[in-house]
Structures are given as structure tokens and as C-alpha cells.
Structure 1
């Protein structure tokens, strides 16, 4: 009788462990999906940043070069 009780307790614990394992597997799968989504978003943002930098560099290249030794400066203390 005590052996049956002991086996029932072990069986209960095994069932709880199996349920917990399944929960953790589902949680892990969801977290992996989130990581992949964030990596995709990061890559997209990096690409947009590089494109913006290229546009800014192109605009800077189109600016005229200053010909005077000292550029005109406004005096903000006046």
C-alpha cells in the first residue's frame, strides 16, 4: 500500500514535470519568434540608417566649398 502511494506521488511529479516542460517549450518557441522579429526589425533599421547616411553624404557632397579662410560667424553676445 505504501509502495502504491509512493508510486502515485512519483507519477504525479512526473506529470507535473512533463506539463512544465511543455510550457517551457512553448515559451521558448514564442521567445525565439520574438528574437527573430526583433532581428528582422534591427536589420531593416540598419538598412534605413545606411540609406539615410548615403543620402546625407550625397547632399553634403553637393554643398559648395567655402572659399574664405574664415567663414562668416554671427556674434551671439551682441
Structure 2
């Protein structure tokens, strides 16, 4: 049978591992929340970028077409 010192050491180790496990669980929850928040932020930024691109494309389409023959300096 195990000696009392050995049992105490095992009990201390188990207590330490349980504390570490709880710590890791809390960290995991926080990291999961952070990933969720960053995913939402990324999606919002992608949406804003897409809207900005659409606006720029619309503005480019509204620009008058420049022809190379109308502006000889442009070909130089």
C-alpha cells in the first residue's frame, strides 16, 4: 500500500491539475468569445470593403471615357 507521504503528494498533484484544468477552461471560454468578436468584426469590415468597392466602381463608370486620339499628350 502507498505510504501517507506518497498519497499526500498525489493528492496535491491532483488538486494542482484540477486548478489548472479550471484555469484552462476559463481561458478557453475567453478565447472563444474573442474569436467570435473578431469574426464579427472581420465580417463587418468585409461588408464595408465590398460597399466601398461598389461605390468606387460606380464612380469609375461615371467618369468620361478618355480617348487616346483626343489627348495626344496622353500617348507620350
TM-score, structure 2 length as denominator? 0.85
Displacement of 1:67 in angstroms is 3.0
Displacement of 1:68 in angstroms is 3.7
Aligned residues between the structures: 73
Displacement of 1:32 in angstroms is 0.9
**Cα distance in 2, alignment partners of residues 47 and 17 from structure 1:** 44
**Cα distance in 1, alignment partners of residues 10 and 57 from structure 2:** 69
The equivalent residue for 1:51 is 51
The equivalent residue for 1:69 is 69
Q: Does 1:25 align with 2:25?
A: yes
More helix by share: 2
Name segments (4+ residues, structure 1) moved above 3 Å: 70-73
Q: Does 1:34 align with 2:31?
A: no
Task: Give me the CA root mean square deviation.
Answer: 1.8
**Cα distance in 1, alignment partners of residues 14 and 45 from structure 2:** 46
Displacement of 1:4 in angstroms is 1.4
**Cα distance in 2, alignment partners of residues 68 and 8 from structure 1:** 89
